[in-house]
Amino acid sequence: MFKTLTTLGLIAAMTLANSARADEWRYAMEEGLTDPQGMYATKFKEEIEKNSKHTINIYPVGALGESADAMEQAQAGLIQFIDQSPGFTGALIPEAEAFLLPYVQPTDPQEVHKYFKEGKAVNEMFHDIYREHGLELLSVFPEGQQVVTTMEPFRTPADLAGMKIRTMPSPLLLETYKAFGASPIAMSWGELIGALKTNMVDGQENPAIWIEAYGLDNLTKVMTYTGHAQYTTAVMANADFYDGLSDKDKKLIQDATAVALDYILDEAVKMDEIGLRKIKETNPGYTINRLTDAERAVFIERSKAVEQAFIERAGPRGAKILEQMKKDLVAARAN
């Protein structure tokens, strides 16, 4: 009897110790604390720390090496959470390059909100795919539409001939800019500023909020709204780490994810406007062009080849995602 009571007491003490255990979790991202990924991470950290004894250490861009290095560490379980965009993950997970496909995402802020909040493709089709790579997908969110900054203006694929455009290291982005008529060069974020300064590249694409924050407008002459994609990013946990958590901690993470996602979706749809306003204020001489519908139509036509390249790499599963994304786009626009 005494022995049983002692064993029960021990189990109770262990359970109590477990439930009260304070773990330190590491969270790596590709941006700074005031950038969109940092805003999401900070909100996620606040929620975790408010509702548990666990703490989160956020490692901003560069703190753990380049994006590829951080992903290796996340897959190995050395860091528990990672925000990595499909522009970098795409080489590892071809299906993730769906988020880079031209002209299958909206640009209007309300449509963007609906597409990411309710879209079936975004919310239902990627979880199992990321799992195959040891990652528990938590959130996918936009950071604003991709805008192209160049030294010379362009309105047609012919204008882009010979222009060296930096892309993130995604095979699909290289296909995209080839289809658009340019000469793309893939490189990490850490190399881009130097490459623009030394004319190793003539341009690049990024959302307005990022272009302004990192002075990319000052290194180029023209910014062109092509309307071809949202800069999309994804937050993940190491799958083994996640599976090893108690139900209570899994719920803690899912709840913090839901709060951080709602927060960033509301903020993200304001970012295009904020970024553009700041650029106009700080760099009034900068040329800002928007392709007309007719000019866009030429690039949309060129995108068919990119869709084919995507399906070749991502297979039938990729084809289904693309089909669903197109339906989600129609649904988002129907509002």
Query: Tokens representing 163?
Result: 């222009």
**Closest to ligand 6CS by CB, 168 or 309:** 168
**Closest to ligand 6CS by CB, 168 or 185:** 168
**Closest to ligand 6CS by CB, 60 or 94:** 60
The 174-193 site mask, x for binding ligand 6CS (CB under 6 A), equals: ---------------x----
Cα–Cα dist 135/238, whole Å: 5
Distances in Å between the Cα of 209 and the Cα atoms of 175, 193, 197, 278, 283 are 25, 16, 20, 8, 14
Q: What is the DSSP string of 144-197?
A: EEEEEEESS--SSHHHHTT-EEEE-S-HHHHHHHHHTT-EEEE--HHHHHHHHH
Q: How far is the CB of 164 from ligand 6CS (least distance, A)?
A: 15
Residue length, the chain? 335
* Contact between 59 and ligand 6CS per CB under 6 A: no
Looking up tokens 């970012």 gives 271
Q: Binding residue for ligand 6CS (CB under 6 A) from 44, 99, 210, 310?
A: 210
Q: Binding residue for ligand 6CS (CB under 6 A) from 25, 28, 31, 232?
A: 31
Q: Which of residues 292-311 bind ligand 6CS (CB under 6 A)?
A: none
Stretch that binds ligand 6CS, among 204-212, 246-254, 263-271, 291-299 (CB under 6 A): 204-212
Which residue number is nearest to ligand 6CS in terms of Cβ?
189
**Closest to ligand 6CS by CB, 100 or 129:** 100
* Contact between 168 and ligand 6CS per CB under 6 A: yes
* Contact between 241 and ligand 6CS per CB under 6 A: no
Using alpha carbons, select from 251, 189, 236, 213 the residue that is nearest to residue 52: 251
Using alpha carbons, select from 153, 300, 288, 304 the residue that is nearest to residue 227: 300
Stretch that binds ligand 6CS, among 172-180, 203-211, 271-279, 323-331 (CB under 6 A): 203-211
Per the CB < 8 A criterion, the answer to whether 82 and 74 are in contact is yes
Q: How far is the CB of 298 from ligand 6CS (least distance, A)?
A: 25
**Closest to ligand 6CS by CB, 79 or 125:** 79
Ramachandran quadrant class, 58 (left: phi over 0; alpha: psi -120 to 50; beta: rest) = beta
Cα–Cα dist 255/250, whole Å: 9
* Contact between 231 and ligand 6CS per CB under 6 A: yes
- Helix/strand/coil for 259: helix
Buried b (16+ CB within 10 A) or exposed e, 11-26: eeeeeeeeeeeeeebb
Q: Binding residue for ligand 6CS (CB under 6 A) from 25, 26, 27, 30?
A: 30
Q: How far is the CB of 168 from ligand 6CS (least distance, A)?
A: 5
Stretch that binds ligand 6CS, among 11-19, 91-99, 205-213, 310-318 (CB under 6 A): 205-213
Cα–Cα dist 153/148, whole Å: 10
Query: Tokens representing 250?
Result: 């899994």
Q: How far is the CB of 213 from ligand 6CS (least distance, A)?
A: 9
Residues that bind ligand 6CS (CB under 6 A): 30-31, 143, 168, 189, 206-207, 210, 231
